[in-house]
Amino acid sequence: MIAKIENSVKLYFHYISVVLRSEMQYRTSFFLVMTGRFLLAFNGILGVYFMFSRFGQVKGYTFGEVLLCYSIIQMDFALAECIGSGFATFDGIVRQGEFDRILLRPHSVILQLLGSRFRIDRIGLILQAVLLFLYSMVVSPVCWTPGKVMTLCSMLFGGTLLFISLFLLEAALCFFLLDGLEAINILTYGAKEHGKYPVDIYGRRMLKVCTYIIPYALMQYYPLQYLIGRTECWYYGLYPFGVVYFLLLCYGVWRLGTRHYQSAGS
């Protein structure tokens, strides 16, 4: 079992090295795209800044607290896109019959998909999120303790895992619906945009939906309350690990889809 895991890890990093070598064949294009994404990503934070310059706060949250929330969710999404973009483009793989070839290879299907499209150009978005986070540390009233640092790590882990789970769910639905999958973007790209603010500003009903159905609040709202000092419940920092149950549900849908998959033929 250990040897199998080691081989899978080696294969995954081999996939990444192949992607990196292919990207570096056009270095100028790669760095221009990465720089463009880095600069373009600041448009979103400008809207937040102008709103706070006009109103001062949103439902009791200051600009520094929202900036902290925004930078973390941006980092989560950028990491998930970097790792899990193979799922996000799965509909094209099914349409073109490429999935048949993937099934014939003696390796994990999920591992092959993860390694097929490693978005190294998302480094620009990750760098932007890191800079915003560093700035939020200056303007937000967070007193960083070892417990809050661990909470931050759990938010990054849980958020990245949640978005990868949603990409996996989108890929699983391709077995049943080849068209109309744009609705899933509401849960991924839409969540990235709306997640710049704490979930509770959208109302209690939305908070319940984001807690018990699509668990955004587990990796965003609850641990954030502990970070910014609105609660002393240290165990809120463990809530992002609850996203694992959602990953298992999405994986169950994936398994159901692969069992009912019919070859695209010739």
For residue range 101-114, what is the model confidence (pLDDT) as tens digits? 888 877 788 888 88
**Predicted pLDDT at 85:** 79
| Euclidean distance between CA atoms 64 and 49, whole angstroms | 10
Enclosing domain of residue 126: 26-259
Residues 6+ apart with CB under 8 A from 50: none
Confidence band (pLDDT; 50, 70, 90) for 156?
very high
Q: What is the mean pLDDT of residues 236-252?
A: 92
| Residue 96 pLDDT exceeds 60 | yes
**Predicted pLDDT at 53:** 78
Torsion angle of the four alpha carbons 24, 16, 70, 35, in this order, in degrees rounded to the nearest 10: 0
Q: What is the mean pLDDT of residues 31-57?
A: 75
**Predicted pLDDT at 245:** 92
Q: Establish if 15 belongs to a structural domain.
A: no
Q: Establish if 156 belongs to a structural domain.
A: yes
| Residue 80 pLDDT exceeds 80 | yes
| Euclidean distance between CA atoms 132 and 154, whole angstroms | 19
Q: Establish if 113 belongs to a structural domain.
A: yes
Question: 129 exposed, middle or buried (CB, 10 Å; 0-12, 13-18, 19+)?
Answer: buried
Place of tokens 């945009």: 193
Q: What is the mean pLDDT of residues 203-219?
A: 89
The lowest-confidence range among 48-52, 152-156, 180-184 is 180-184
Q: Rounded to an integer, what is the distance from CA 32 to the centroid of its chain?
A: 23
Q: What is the mean pLDDT of residues 205-216?
A: 89
For residue range 114-147, what is the model confidence (pLDDT) as tens digits? 877 777 777 778 888 888 888 888 888 788 889 9
3-state secondary structure of 84: helix
Q: What is the largest distance, in Å, between two alpha-carbon atoms of the chain?
A: 61
Confidence band (pLDDT; 50, 70, 90) for 265?
low
Q: Establish if 92 belongs to a structural domain.
A: yes
Bridge partners (DSSP) listed for residue 61 = 58
Q: Establish if 158 belongs to a structural domain.
A: yes
Q: Establish if 21 belongs to a structural domain.
A: no
Reported pTM: 0.87
| Euclidean distance between CA atoms 164 and 77, whole angstroms | 9
How many domains does one find in the chain? 1
Q: Establish if 102 belongs to a structural domain.
A: yes
**Predicted pLDDT at 3:** 60
Structure tokens given for 121: 């150009």
Phi, psi (rounded to 5 degrees) for 68 = -60, -45
Mean per-residue pLDDT of the chain: 82
Q: Establish if 12 belongs to a structural domain.
A: no
**Predicted pLDDT at 225:** 92
- Identify the DSSP state of 179: S
